[in-house]
Amino acid sequence: MSGFDLDVDAARWRRSLGTVTETRPRLVPVIKGNGYGFGRDLLCRESTALGVDTIAVGTYDEVPAALAAFDGDVMVLTPWRPFFVDAVIDDRVIHTLGRVDDVAALAAAAPGARVLLEGETSMARHGFDRHELAAAVAVLGDLRVEGFAIHLPLRSVAPGGNYGEAERWAAALEASQVETTTLYVSHLTPGEVGALSARRPHLDIRPRIGTSLWLGDLGALSVRATVIDSHLVARGEHIGYRQRAMPRDGTLLIIAGGTSHGIGLESPKAVSGVVARGKQLAKGGLEAAGLSLSPFRIGGKQRWFAEPPHMQASMVFLPGDVEAPAVGDSVDVAVRFTTATFDAINLR
């Protein structure tokens, strides 16, 4: 069925995956959440084709399917906690640890389990303070340390940026009692990983990559939202669940793609800077007037929602002077792939 679909130019997409894999030696693909729009199973199969030995998933909930779809090791990015009821203990699973108490608890619960120790970076999300590492090592018991992990922000404001922070952690790891030479990193450029490897030849630096691998060539991807219905409306006509009055004469389009597809989800925008903030405020002004810009593009412009998106379709208003697409036609949608769910993913 065609509705809210992702069309993938498979040859082009796989070329991009191949290029990233070649330029990022020892990479660990990250496959978590909605699978960057592709779904996790598809990405697991692609990872097998890429020939990588390890993938990283977000949560324990995602582990069983990953173990089924991928033959190598599966590391879990969310640190293990004693109160997790779905933790999967399997010899192919690599757990992340970030608290001394948790190290002792996992050592007791699953002796022999494979683990990563994570350092708390400027992200301040999970991980050990560097001065806790000796205490963590002291309670390792039979746990097998497979590596050390750092999760960096997109861009660190620490001296030297992400590279500086990564190098300080690499140095701390080497001076610590943690006996591993494998360092898993995120959000370092290929150049930064190369420089770090050159400066720290004893370390095996493995980048964990999600977005820039799977969404590395957006040109290979197109999102198609099918026009399901179309009605001419007059100014002042009341439409929709909320019976809102139309601002002008025009066309009301019913387009596949609603909240269940990730349309209309709002999250704080990753904006910084005065201009960007100003734009957001301006947009907020229109939103305050009861209108919202939709992600659907018709005639080269983003169009306004006629009312808040429904679960599976959206109602979009098109002014009368714009030529409306026909029922069955598809329109472009600007989606956020990490929150999108498609009705179908078509590898062509």
Partner 1 sequence: MTSEPPLVPLSVRPISAAEHLDFVRSRPSVSFLQTPAWAQVKNEWRGESIGWFDGSTIVGAALVLYRQLPRLKRYLAYLPEGPDIDWSDGDVARWLTPMAAHLKKQGAFGIRMGPPVITRRWRAATIKQAIADPVLGSLSDVPADERDEAAIELRATLSALGWKEIPTEGGFSAGQPKFNFQLPLAGRDEADLLAGMNQLWRRNIKKAAKAGVEVTTGSRDDLAEFHRVYAETAERDSFTPRPLSYFQRMWDALSAEEPDRLVLYLARHEGDLVAATTMVRVGEHAWYSYGASTTQKRDVRGSNAIQWQMMRDALAAGATTYDMRGITETLDPDDSHVGLIQFKVGTGGEAVEYLGEWDLPLNRALHLGFTTYMRRRG
**Nearer residue to partner 1 within complex by CB, 205 or 209:** 205
Residue 330 CA: distances (Å) to CA of 172, 226, 254, 256: 54, 4, 11, 9
Pick between residue 4 and residue 169 the one whose CB is nearest to partner 1: 169
Residue whose CB is less far from partner 1, 96 or 176: 176
- Cα–Cα distances (Å) from 5 to 8, 82, 310, 330, in that order, read 10, 40, 17, 10
Element (H, E) at 223: strand 221-233
Would you say 87 or 205 has its CB closer to partner 1?
Answer: 205
213-237 as b/e, with b when 16 or more CB fall inside 10 Å?
bbbebeebbbbbbbbbebeebeeee
CB of 305 to partner 1, least distance (A): 50
CA-CA-CA-CA torsion sign (221, 226, 232, 234): negative
Q: Which is nearer to partner 1, 162 or 294 (CB)?
A: 162
- The Cα–Cα gap between 257 and 263 comes to 6
Beta carbon nearer to partner 1, 175 or 232: 175
Q: Which residues of this protein are in contact with partner 1, per CB under 8 A?
A: 130-135, 167-168, 170-172, 174-177
Q: How far is the CB of 158 from partner 1 (least distance, A)?
A: 12
| Cross-sheet strand order for the sheet of 73-76 | 28-29, 204-209, 182-185, 144-150, 114-119, 93-97, 73-76, 54-57
> Which stretches of 221-315 are DSSP H helices?
274-288
- Does residue 93 contact residue 55 with C-beta atoms inside 8 Å? no
Closest approach, Cβ 107 to partner 1, in A, equals: 18
Least Å distance, CB 110 to partner 1, is: 25
**333: which residues sit within 8 A by CB, 6+ positions away?**
4, 223, 224, 225, 257, 263, 295, 296, 297
Output 10 or 134, the one with its CB closest to partner 1: 134
Tell me how far, at minimum, the Cβ of 254 lies from partner 1, in Å.
Answer: 59
The least CB distance from residue 313 to partner 1, in Å, is 55
CB atoms within 10 A of CB 191: 9
- What is the smallest separation between the CB atom of 170 and partner 1, expressed in angstroms? 8
